[in-house]
Amino acid sequence: MALIRQARDEPLSVGSKKPVLETDNLTVSYRPYGLPPVEALRKVNIKIAPGEILGLVGESGAGKTTLAKAIMGVIAKPGVVESGRLLFNGTNLFQLSEEKLNQLRGASISIIVANPRGELNPLLMVGQQLANIARIHMRVSARQARQLALDMLKAVKIPDPVRRFRAYPHELSGGMAQRVVIAAGLICSPQLVISDDATSGLDVTVQAQILDLLKKLARERQTSMLYITRDIGVAANFCDRIAVLYKGEIVEEAPTGAFFEGPSHPYGNLLLAAFSHNSVLRKRWSTELEQLQKRETPALACLFVDRCPLRQGRCWQEHPELRDLTPGRLIRCHYPVLRHRP
């Protein structure tokens, strides 16, 4: 827990370093047979600097998991990457062969997901699963791989790693299994780790331990992270920068401190109001459901217009572009919330 408290180190500006990952106008849509296509991601531009933890927040259905899948190159039909580039250290991943991608995935880019038991092979000892990853990607001997796996089990603070090496997934508790999955994600010291809601299923005391651990490992190894979550409380305490995704669009991007001192997009404010359970404020930051259902939204309108308390005529006609509000802070809104602090 100590580490999380130190989390407020200087914000990392992306401009200074070359980004590890960059999505350039990434658009992904789902085209179910016989139904109109649905755009799950609309021209998403994100950049993650070396060693940076970018928090991607948004409600369910915003496209968070689609983004994770797009980066891993595992968008399944009827999903289609419509346009855009996905740059990993400057290389466009969409142009790589499946073989090249397989060398990157697991070694340089890895993903940690929730539901650890679904990820682990139930028929293999967990230590062996870790060792296999090391053998495949790092071309080490079986013995070295075993040692790496043991070290990794130690690093994620699994008690009695030598015994647990030989455990099968069903013998582990949820928290332990999640640690094994994290170990699997980190064993090759990847440059980029994507965490898709990986800690949300854990108990809070265990979650706090695992977040500390992830942060420590990320800082030690200069690993970048894309941390996808619905829980803005976790994002506030864990991430360096926050990007808010709404209906497939980034609507706001800011350093964590600045974001939680006052979100600029009305949706960010609504998220905060919802978390605080303050019903007066929540009403003020959202509009009633009945109104929402009455009106058909025109195609060019801002995607948030039907829920926005600050909307004006322009919002119905003109889709806002993502623009700089202040240095390091991006916003997609015609009338952002500005606060003047004394």
- Give residues in contact with another protein (CB under 8 A): 1-2, 4-5, 7-8, 59-60, 159, 173-176, 203-209, 230-238, 256-257, 260-262, 269-279, 281-282, 284-286, 290, 293, 309-310, 337, 339
Min separation Cβ 251 and another protein, Å = 15
Q: What tokens appear for 200 in the block? A: 């949300």
Contact between 219 and 57 (Cβ < 8 Å) = no
How many residues comprise the chain? 342
Residue whose CB is less far from another protein, 184 or 242 = 242
Positive or negative torsion for Cα 51, 201, 2, 189: negative
Neighbours of 36 (CB within 10 A): 7
Helices (H), 77-141: 98-104, 116-119, 126-138
Nearer to another protein, 145 or 183 (CB): 183
Give 107 or 251: the residue with its C-beta nearer to another protein.
Answer: 251
Residue 219, helix vs strand vs coil: helix
- Output the smallest distance, CB 100 to another protein, in A: 38
7-14, Cβ contacts within 8 angstroms, sequence gap of 24 or more: 7/215, 7/237, 7/238, 8/257, 11/240, 11/241, 11/255, 11/256, 11/257, 11/328, 12/49, 12/51, 12/52, 12/240, 12/241, 13/49, 13/328, 14/47, 14/48, 14/49, 14/52
**1 or 76, CB closer to another protein?**
1
The residue (of 88 and 304) whose beta carbon lies closer to another protein is: 304
CA-to-CA distance for 285 and 213, rounded, in angstroms?
Answer: 36
Report the nearest approach of another protein to the CB of residue 160 (Å).
11
Distance between CA 27 and CA 288 in Å, rounded?
31
| Cβ–Cβ < 8 Å for 264, 338 | yes
**Nearest CA-CA partner of 330 in 250, 261, 257, 271:** 250
Smallest separation (angstroms) from another protein to the CB of 229: 10
CA angle 327, 329, 331 (to 5 degrees): 130
Q: How far is the CB of 298 from another protein (least distance, A)?
A: 23
Our CB check for another protein shows the closer of 219 and 221 to be: 219
| Smallest separation, CB 333 to another protein (Å) | 13
Q: Is residue 12 a contact partner of residue 241, using CB atoms and an 8 Å limit?
A: yes
Tell me the β-bridge partners of 247: none
Least distance (Å) between residue 265 CB and another protein: 12
Q: Which of residues 192 and 242 has its CB atom nearest to another protein in the complex?
A: 242
Q: How far is the CB of 4 from another protein (least distance, A)?
A: 6
Least separation in angstroms between residue 279's CB and another protein is 5
Question: Which one, 5 or 139, has the nearer CB to another protein?
Answer: 5
Sign, CA torsion 239/242/267/327: positive
Q: Return the number of the residue (143 or 294) whose C-beta is nearest another protein.
A: 294
